[in-house]
Amino acid sequence: MKRRVVITGLGCVTPVGVGWKSYWDALLSGKNGIGFISQFDASEFPVRIAGEVDNSTFVDLIEKKDSRRMSRFTQFAIISSKMAINDSKLDLEKIDAEKFGVIVGSGVGGMDTLEEQHRILLERGPKRVSPNFIPMMISNIAAGQISMMLNAKGPNFTTVTACASSTNALGEAFRTVVRGDADIVVTGGCEAAITPLSIAGFASMKALSTRNDDPEHASRPFDKDRDGFVMGEGGAMLIFEELEHALARGANIYAEMVGFGAASDAYHITAPHPEGKGARKAMELAIKDAGITPEDVNYINAHGTSTYYNDMLETLAINDLFQDHAKKLSVSSTKSMTGHLLGAAGAAEAIASILAVRDNKVPPTMNCFQPDEKCNLDYVPLKYKEVTVNYALSNSLGFGGHNATIAFGKYKN
């Protein structure tokens, strides 16, 4: 029989809350985390808004001497991991370190460190570039730092698939436990790309909302007046554990991960496939892997970026796969509140999906005042709803044509 994988710990740092309880309460209440950029002077930029994590909410959660040698994205990863481990009540002295893995996703890694050290190079010369520059910047260092902190000696790697990075990480963590390569995996994502170069680059692509005069309503997935996504930042980590291992220690089980699917558009460097084929295939594969039918799915946490093509084509993919059942689904985008956490988005949204399964509550899509006529599903506009959620999917679609879907179900003995 296939080894079963359950979720026994959660931790997160997001623009709407730090810690899963704060985060979940914020989502259900429709709290908005979008505001004016404070990390640099954006007054001359075409985009001046983002979903920032308030420094005061996490600065005391990491040692100062450690934070000085970590990029912001790694700090988010470390804090989220500590929270998830504490939440899981794992006794690290009693587990097999060689069956304890760390798999993390990040789209761009230490962008803040890269920009800072490049400035130092230009202004002060090559000898003043920090010897910590490379190990602070590289995307895999978050997973490495977590493994050293926890003495996790099992599989340890990083997935980099743009906005699908942490969903791919969770998928690979799931498979790692199913295969028996690990009994426990700390998995999730982290990102901190609210920097001058990053904002300028995404703005140049016309990918970001320019609703600078109304930050609270800038991220509006599926709404007819959407004009681009809003950059966010943060980290989210989960503890994946083999079922018998979790039961043996009396662990609290939030839900079960039951399936993973991944597919490529093989179409365009940024645009989704015009028929949503990659997104459809990823969902189809996750459902097949879970051993369920499309009719068993009750909720989809959509990628839902608030960009014209993503929202329209993700809707098309859902309609094409689910057919008549599509109208019975609850579909929402929590990016309407957090902004788009890029490589960390999938992990944060996985936590929302897991808690939807646990609590039978679906978070809303805020700012969806009037859906686009091509967006014809139940997007749970403006207010959460209570509905039985036996199975939930979480979608992530990344630049480069990367599509990933994960499936969660209620834990049943």
Positions annotated as catalytic residues are 163, 303, 340
Alpha-helical segments (H) within 125-209: 133-137, 141-150, 165-179, 196-204
**Segment (H or E) for 6:** strand 5-14
CA distance 23 to 7: 17
Whole-number Å distance between alpha carbons of 184 and 238: 10
Euclidean distance between the first and the last CA atom of the chain, given in angstroms as a whole number: 15
Distance CA 231, CA 34 (A): 9
How many contiguous H segments (helices) and E segments (strands) does the chain have? 13, 15
Instruction: Output the CA–CA distances (angstroms, integers) from residue 379 to 133, 144, 331, 404, in the order listed.
Output: 43, 38, 5, 20
What whole-number distance in Å separates Cα of residue 86 and Cα of residue 240?
A: 14
> What gap in Å lies between CA 338 and CA 34, rounded to an integer?
7
C-alpha distances in Å from residue 68, one per residue of 13, 40, 129, 396: 18, 19, 15, 32
